[in-house]
Chain A
Amino acid sequence: MNPLSLASKMGPLCLVLLVSLGKEAYEDWKRFQADKAINNTHVDVLQDGRWAPIQWQKLQVGDIVKVKQDGSFPADLLFLASTNADGVCYTETANLDGETNLKILMALERTWDYITPEKASEFKGEVQCEHPNNLLYTFTGNLVHQKQTLPLNPYQILLRGCSLRNTEYIVGAVIFTGHETKIMMNAMNVLSKRSTLERKLDKLILALLATLFVICAVGAIGSATFINRKYYYFGLGKGVEAQFNPDNRLMVFARTMLTFVTLFSTIVPISLYVTIEVIEYIQSTQFIDKDLHMYHAETDTPALARTSNLNEELGQVEYIFSDKTGTLTRNMMEFFKCSIGGEVYGTGMTEIEMGGAQRTGKRMEMHKSANAVHEKGFNFDDTRLMRGAWRNEPNPDMCKEFFRCLAICHTVLPEGEDCPEKITYQAASPDEAALVIAAKNFGFFFYRRTPTKIYVRESHVEEMGKIDDAGYEILNILEFNSTRKRQSVVCRYPDGRLVLYCKGGDAVISERLARGQDDLKRITMENLEQFGSAGLRTLCLAYRDLNPEIYEGWNEKFTWAKKLLEDREKKLDEVAELIEKELILIGCTAIEDRLQEGVPSCIETLSKAGIKIWMLTGDKIETAINIAYACELTSNDMKQFIISSETDSIREVEERGDRDEIARVMKEEVRKELSKSLKEAQHCIRSASDPKLTLVIDGKCLTYALDPNLRTMLLNLSLICTSVVCCRVTPLQKAEVTDLVKKGARKITLSIGDGANDVAMIRMAHVGVGISGLEGMQAVMASDFAIAQFRFLSDLLLMHGRCGFLSLQVITYFFYKNLTFTLTQFWFTFQAGFSGQKFYHDWFDSLYNVVFTSLPVIVFGLFEKDVSASLSKKYPQLYKEGMRNSYFSWRDVAAWALSAVYQSLVFYHFVTASSSAGLNSSGKMLGLRDVGTMAFTCVVVTVNLRLLLMCNSITRWHHIAISLSILAWFAFAFICSLVRGNLYHVVHVIMSTVYFYLTFLLVPIVALLGDFLWQGVQRLFFPYDYQIVQEIHRHEPDDYTGAGNLHIRSHLTPDQERNFAISLLPRDTSKYTGFAFDSPGYESFFASQHGVHAPQKAWDVIRRASMRTKPKTLPKK
């Protein structure tokens, strides 16, 4: 049946399968070993009043365990006691979320004592908790202990996968084990991305299979009609096998069909997948991970490709969805200005202001006043508030409240020694840390937090120069969440005064103010606007003196709500509402959130490359628009469509409070706005040649716009717009918007973000990019590529993406090379009675893909670069070729197929025609093997040379690979000639003829003539863009930008850096003012994804406080 010997056919296939099988098996084995090792790890369990080691796998729910320092938690534990004071312990969660900073957890005060085995065996309690789930950052439950119900929080839960640090040991009770632990619940659904390339490849393979079927059918029909007893020399007697039995031609057809399938199976490139994997693996680990252009020296972060099979998608991205905070901006908040009692303090100018001033022609002196204080988180220049000078201001009491509010109302944890120079703050968001740092600089130094108290070292309060330590009892913390948009703390002064301090967004504070502060309110709002237009993030501060009776009454309700198992968060919000009213406004703060270096120019480059950039942010609409201006996503000459829920009609309905009514009206409004904008946009498209449109939409409207009925309208509108800004969006909405474009427009999308709230959209997009180095690692863990700075996106896309995309030509080349090879065989079939006789020897056939043509393709895929890295950034428009998919269109494939047909005809006919007479002066004739070997030589040589014709840049690796391949063929042929078999001395025979040399010269040149001619004509008449660029720069030597010298670039003087930053600043300032407090990072991603409110927990605070950059010490000389 099979025309090939089994070994030669199965050999390469088995090799490929074996390699991957072996890899899998090895990994499985290792996993098994690891599992075994983990299951057999020992942990101390309380048994009969003492600690006894047992295996992890024998652990049961309810066991009391002891975990020592650096040990891992064997299960999800309820944290009971720790050797540390205050019942805290430190854990490392690197296995869980990749964050390397330590998290501080705190046991319930009631269980602190159960630290010794004797005491612990007395512990009796009942834990009521939710079912096992995969939400890492939430936990709802109660501990019933000594007939009291104590609420449990995530920061009493030690999760499996974490390990204990800086604590001698802890004692805990097992809550969830094995597959019920949170880490295991999370491990269950692993999303994998399938690159569109794979899908296209499948189509190509299908096309090849169809071709295979057609040529097999042609051959089989031919065979059935050919076979005839008249060819007596075939010995078609009685006992002839079915394949050649002329009496049953249907059988002949069927059997020969099978033969041909195996014969022509070389048309399907088995090694293609392996080749592509090798190329992409090297590209990502060697080129992307080690690119010095994408190395960020300040955070010591190189780029990281976490998946290797999306490289080519990087070259085809059309839509970028970007987060704002931490992605476009630095997320390094600095306290910059404030307004206290209507008086503005802080004389500095933001970069945005300075940029604006420079554009209007004013010459700004870039001097720093000697009084300016600058440290991380604090950049304030005004002596009126420093060193107690505020006592001489018109409203010193207000100032005092302002500072106390800053020092008390927060969830920050101090770390390190309690002196102002050495302390560090662990905060939920950089804003919070900045505010506490500001308080410290104003002389209200928060240095210690216990579960019940906050200690503040206050200077100049009683009189100038006097320093007092004051301990404020923290009675309640009303935590921040995105619905409340504010945070309050109820505290008792040492003298018994009860105060509620509150800070929050301007809107929420202003509606809760006591009456009679209209003037102050008006002035403060003006200041807020002024800060806003300077690009600052603002926050209002307020306080309220509490009457003890009122407080006690309220506190009861609050304690009750805290113990609820159901709807706890909602009830807590409602209870908080009762006390957060009649506030007295103190003032507002302004924090600068600077743009990341190079963001505007990167965005400009990317949009020149035809990539549309969408900004998706949780911030307020004004903030979002302001940043959009700053990074040139939008400008004043762009037409803006704003779809906002902040219109009068909507507000009116909202005030009435009927939910159905609100939904109906909102939807109607959104529909109207959308259709109006769409009409206008379409009109713009028709009238102006190059309209620039921006769509701004807020989260509430987006909810309705994503409605199935309005979806298409939204999509059409947003596709017309050059940039889209979505503000006030939840993580889930970010993902939905990404999905809308991904599915609706069928374009390649890329999401970039840095925080947990971006995880959903990073997962959703074709390519997910995480910003590494600053905030937590969650975005990075979910991403496909991680870079340190937004600006590296241009390198990643324009350079690596293009290279990855160019290497797609490997596929068409494979297609061509296998088709050519198989077709020569096919033409031979016509002259061999359709019998399925091989033209080439079995081994040639099998080694063709694996040995003789494999290496050059890999080298090509790796090194193919049509223009150099710097040119691809200089001419971002070249990137569009990727979007047009110009290397992998069906037209392209057809052209290659045509070339394959032509070449195979040349190979077959030229070689056979020239072998028809005696071939050297000895007059001897060549046989089938000789001619086949001759043809094979021509195929190998030509196919390898054809590759060289494709190359735009030929390195010595190309030379080596191609010569190695051709040499390998000749070496193999000689070896075959030495082995007694039907190839014995074949090469000697053919190489003794002149015919060999003449054919060897003629055939490859004739075969390549067509391609060469086409390339010449194409370049002369229809040049591609990259070809023109090549020509423009043809005389320039290779630009070795000297990545080795790159670090010099980051060594600008501060002034130079500032000038550089200013030169990149926007050319327009927005007309929008007011910045928001709301940072999307506040909300736990997992919580909001599932529609659960997860208010800020101390645990959460710590988790996010990953700003702990290690101090870099320079070697001293």
Chain B
Amino acid sequence: MSSTTVPSSSGAPGSADASAVRRNSKRPKYSKFTQQELPACKPILTPRWVISAFMLVSIVFIPIGVASLFASHDVVEIVYRYDLDCIPASNRSNRADKVQYIQTPGDKTCNKSLTVPKRMKPPIYVYYQLDNFYQNHRRYVKSRSDQQLRDASSEGEVSDCKPEDMLSNGSYIVPCGLIAWSLFNDTYSFSINSAQVNVNKKGISWKSDREHKFGKDVYPKNFQSGGLIGGAKLNSSIPLSEQEDLIVWMRTAALPTFRKLYGKIEHDLEENQVIQVSLGNNYNTYSFNGKKKLVLSTTSWLGGKNDFLGIAYLTVGGLCFFLAMAFTIVYLVKPRQLGDPSYLSWNRNPGWH
């Protein structure tokens, strides 16, 4: 008989001699990967899981929220908006007058007094807060030269700094660019019962900025000597790494409303104490209707006064608790048995099968 195929009954590679046959056969090798049999965890989002997850979130979040809120409430914060108060009443009526006032040279100091609402423990941070000031505008953000700031030899790296890159005579401005040019120049000094309160201006910038981004041997040059004066002038005998106001200013803010650290007061301020503030109102925010605020604030472990995190945590925690409860009730009132075949679509419409 010319049997060419092996009958199925006797032929196909059996397990005993499979290995011998398999060497030449095209039989794919078994592996869990190719057979898609990798051990896998198959989570099923049962109501029990949903409820537990929500409960877990609420259990974790509510205490964090409470703690954050407490921390935030412990912080004593004095916010004083002075941009209007510090302009003579005659110039307050419209923007042009205000701008004219601020642009007129002369002493624009104004004295105000603030009452401490609660005892403030040192360090008390002094911030200025600007509003409607777009430090995050693209034209503004890029108008700086990090090389120039860091390295005295890179003085000429001013390509990004236009129009504050060089003077009309061609000498470079250090620090160049719009950010430095528009350096905030209001000043604050405090006194309690005529006794000067010292404002420590050391260590208000991030250490990494101070040490690595601003050079110890880079000195201001030709700064604010052009036609238009944008803001503060810099002492050209102090290296940039010690010009902390500049360093703080040049870490541009993310949002158009921002606070920047001005200094630290290292004295206790007692409740109901009255602080006299002498404000040097020099900075022009009047052109663009920007507010200026002086902020005195203590900190907690969380930082400054910021209710947002606490409220967010509490809200989410509460919401999750509510959802857990709702799910539980729904689950008790209208349960769906797990794996009930009657829910299968082909069982639901009997017309199908």
Residue numbers of A with Cβ under 8 A of B are 3, 228, 230-235, 237, 239-240, 244, 286-287, 289-292, 295, 297-298, 300-302, 375-376, 416, 420-424, 437, 608, 689-690, 803, 828, 831-833, 835-837, 863, 865, 869, 875, 877, 880, 910, 912-928, 930-932, 951-957, 980-982, 984-985, 988-989, 993-995, 998-999, 1001-1002, 1005-1006, 1009, 1012-1013, 1015-1016, 1019-1021, 1023, 1025, 1027-1034, 1038, 1040, 1043-1044, 1047-1048, 1050-1051, 1053-1054, 1057, 1108-1109, 1111-1112, 1114-1115, 1117
Give the distance to chain A from B111, nearest Cβ to Cβ, in Å. Answer: 25
Q: Is the CB of A1112 within 8 A of B28?
A: no
Q: Is the CB of A919 within 8 A of B339?
A: no
Q: Assuming A1047-B12, A1047-B15, A1115-B21, is B341 touching A302 (CB within 8 A)?
A: no
* A931, B305: Cα distance in complex, Å: 18
Q: Is the CB of B53 within 8 A of A1012?
A: yes
Which of B81-89, B233-241, B268-276, B306-314 is the contact stretch? B306-314
With an 8 A cutoff between CB atoms, is B195 at the interface?
no
Which of B112-120, B166-174, B186-194, B294-302 is the contact stretch? B294-302
5 contacts between A and B (CB under 8 A): A287-B36, A290-B28, A301-B26, A1015-B45, A1043-B37
Q: Is the CB of A923 within 8 A of B26?
A: no
Q: Is the CB of B309 within 8 A of A1002?
A: yes
| Contact indicator per residue, chain B 269-295, by CB within 8 Å of chain A (1) or not (0) | 000000000000000100110000000
With an 8 A cutoff between CB atoms, is B11 at the interface?
yes
Q: Assuming A863-B36, A1020-B330, is B164 touching A235 (CB within 8 A)?
A: yes
Give the distance to chain A from B75, nearest Cβ to Cβ, in Å. Answer: 8
Q: Assuming A235-B164, A376-B3, is B44 touching A291 (CB within 8 A)?
A: no
Kindly identify, within residues 302 to 353 of chain B, every residue whose CB is under 8 Å from any CB belonging to chain A. Answer: 302-306, 308-309, 312-313, 316, 319-320, 323, 327, 330-331, 336, 338-341, 343-346, 350-353
Q: Which one, B287, B302, B319, contacts A995 given CB within 8 A?
A: B302
* A998, B67: Cα distance in complex, Å: 11
Q: Is the CB of A954 within 8 A of B11?
A: no
* A566, B106: Cα distance in complex, Å: 112
Give the distance to chain B from A720, nearest Cβ to Cβ, in Å. Answer: 14
Count how many chain B residues have C-beta atoms less than 8 Å from C-beta atoms of the other chain: 125
Q: Is the CB of B34 within 8 A of A833?
A: no
* A1025, B13: Cα distance in complex, Å: 40
Give the distance to chain B from A824, nearest Cβ to Cβ, in Å. Answer: 12
| Contact indicator per residue, chain B 22-61, by CB within 8 Å of chain A (1) or not (0) | 0001111111011111111111111100100100010001
Chain B contact residues: over half helix, strand or loop, or mixed?
loop
Q: Is the CB of A989 within 8 A of B305?
A: no
Q: Is the CB of A235 within 8 A of B4?
A: no
**Cβ–Cβ < 8 Å partners of A1030 in chain B:** 42, 44, 339
Q: Is the CB of B254 within 8 A of A230?
A: no
With an 8 A cutoff between CB atoms, is B73 at the interface?
no
Q: Is the CB of B163 within 8 A of A237?
A: yes
Q: Which one, B64, B309, B352, contacts A690 given CB within 8 A?
A: B352
Kindly identify, within residues 120 to 165 of chain B, every residue whose CB is under 8 Å from any CB belonging to chain A. Answer: 123, 125, 127, 133-141, 143, 146, 150, 162-164
Q: Is the CB of B38 within 8 A of A920?
A: no
**Cβ–Cβ < 8 Å partners of A424 in chain B:** 2, 4
Q: Is the CB of A1040 within 8 A of B343?
A: no
Q: Is the CB of B208 within 8 A of A916?
A: no
* A1089, B127: Cα distance in complex, Å: 86
Q: Is the CB of A955 within 8 A of B312?
A: no
Kindly identify, within residues 195 to 231 of chain B, every residue whose CB is under 8 Å from any CB belonging to chain A. Answer: 204-206, 208-209, 212-213, 228, 230
* A286, B34: Cα distance in complex, Å: 5
Give the distance to chain A from B38, nearest Cβ to Cβ, in Å. Answer: 5
User: Chain B: which residue is nearest A1015 at the CB level?
Assistant: B45
Q: Is the CB of A837 within 8 A of B330?
A: no
Q: Which one, A376, A932, A1033, contacts B5 given CB within 8 A?
A: A376
**Cβ–Cβ < 8 Å partners of A951 in chain B:** 43
Q: Is the CB of B336 within 8 A of A980?
A: no
Q: Is the CB of A924 within 8 A of B36?
A: no
Q: Assuming A1002-B312, A1057-B8, is B20 touching A923 (CB within 8 A)?
A: no
With an 8 A cutoff between CB atoms, is B256 at the interface?
yes
* A875, B41: Cα distance in complex, Å: 21
Q: Is the CB of B30 within 8 A of A923?
A: no
| Residue from A235, A239, A1027, A1031 having most chain B Cβ neighbours under 10 A | A235
Q: Which one, A234, A421, A1019, A1028, contacts B340 given CB within 8 A?
A: A1028
Give the distance to chain A from B72, nearest Cβ to Cβ, in Å. Answer: 9
**Cβ–Cβ < 8 Å partners of B284 in chain A:** 232
Q: Is the CB of B4 within 8 A of A1108?
A: yes
Closest 4 pairs (CB-CB, A-B): A1031-B339, A917-B304, A918-B304, A985-B208
With an 8 A cutoff between CB atoms, is B252 at the interface?
yes
Q: Is the CB of A1050 within 8 A of B40?
A: no
**Cβ–Cβ < 8 Å partners of A416 in chain B:** 2
Give the distance to chain B from A432, nearest Cβ to Cβ, in Å. Answer: 15
* 20 further interface pairs, Cβ-Cβ under 8 Å (given A416-B2, A921-B303, A1034-B44): A231-B134, A233-B230, A300-B26, A376-B5, A424-B2, A833-B136, A836-B138, A912-B254, A915-B254, A916-B255, A918-B299, A918-B303, A953-B40, A980-B150, A994-B302, A1016-B327, A1025-B344, A1030-B339, A1040-B37, A1112-B6
* A645, B123: Cα distance in complex, Å: 102
Q: Assuming A994-B301, A1054-B9, is B254 touching A926 (CB within 8 A)?
A: yes
* A570, B340: Cα distance in complex, Å: 67
Residue numbers of B with Cβ under 8 A of A are 1-9, 11-15, 17-18, 20-21, 25-31, 33-47, 50, 53, 57, 61, 64, 68, 123, 125, 127, 133-141, 143, 146, 150, 162-164, 178, 181-182, 204-206, 208-209, 212-213, 228, 230, 248, 251-261, 264, 284, 287-288, 297, 299-306, 308-309, 312-313, 316, 319-320, 323, 327, 330-331, 336, 338-341, 343-346, 350-353
**Cβ–Cβ < 8 Å partners of B256 in chain A:** 831-833
* A1005, B57: Cα distance in complex, Å: 8
Q: Is the CB of B37 within 8 A of A837?
A: no
Q: Is the CB of B20 within 8 A of A1016?
A: no
Q: Is the CB of A954 within 8 A of B28?
A: no
* A22, B287: Cα distance in complex, Å: 57
**Cβ–Cβ < 8 Å partners of A955 in chain B:** 38-41
* A1029, B206: Cα distance in complex, Å: 58
Q: Which one, A239, A421, A877, A1002, contacts B316 given CB within 8 A?
A: A1002
Q: Is the CB of A1031 within 8 A of B338?
A: yes
Q: Assuming A234-B178, A833-B137, A1034-B44, is B21 touching A292 (CB within 8 A)?
A: no
**Cβ–Cβ < 8 Å partners of B141 in chain A:** 837, 928
**Cβ–Cβ < 8 Å partners of B46 in chain A:** 1019, 1031
* A1012, B6: Cα distance in complex, Å: 58
User: Chain B: which residue is nearest A989 at the CB level?
Assistant: B206
**Cβ–Cβ < 8 Å partners of B150 in chain A:** 980
**Cβ–Cβ < 8 Å partners of B1 in chain A:** 375, 420-421
Q: Assuming A234-B178, A910-B312, A1038-B37, is B351 touching A690 (CB within 8 A)?
A: yes
Q: Assuming A836-B138, A1006-B312, is B2 touching A422 (CB within 8 A)?
A: yes
**Cβ–Cβ < 8 Å partners of B228 in chain A:** 232
Q: Is the CB of B259 within 8 A of A917?
A: yes
Q: Is the CB of B252 within 8 A of A927?
A: yes
**Cβ–Cβ < 8 Å partners of A232 in chain B:** 228, 230, 284, 287-288
User: Chain A: which residue is nearest B144 at the CB level?
Assistant: A982
**Cβ–Cβ < 8 Å partners of A912 in chain B:** 254-255
Q: Is the CB of B15 within 8 A of A837?
A: no
Give the distance to chain A from B326, nearest Cβ to Cβ, in Å. Answer: 10
User: Chain B: which residue is nearest A415 at the CB level?
Assistant: B2
Give the distance to chain A from B197, nearest Cβ to Cβ, in Å. Answer: 17
* A291, B256: Cα distance in complex, Å: 60
Give the distance to chain A from B112, nearest Cβ to Cβ, in Å. Answer: 22
Q: Is the CB of A985 within 8 A of B44?
A: no
Q: Is the CB of B306 within 8 A of A914?
A: yes
Give the distance to chain B from A349, nearest Cβ to Cβ, in Å. Answer: 19
Give the distance to chain A from B170, nearest Cβ to Cβ, in Å. Answer: 16
User: Chain A: which residue is nearest B330 at the CB level?
Assistant: A1020
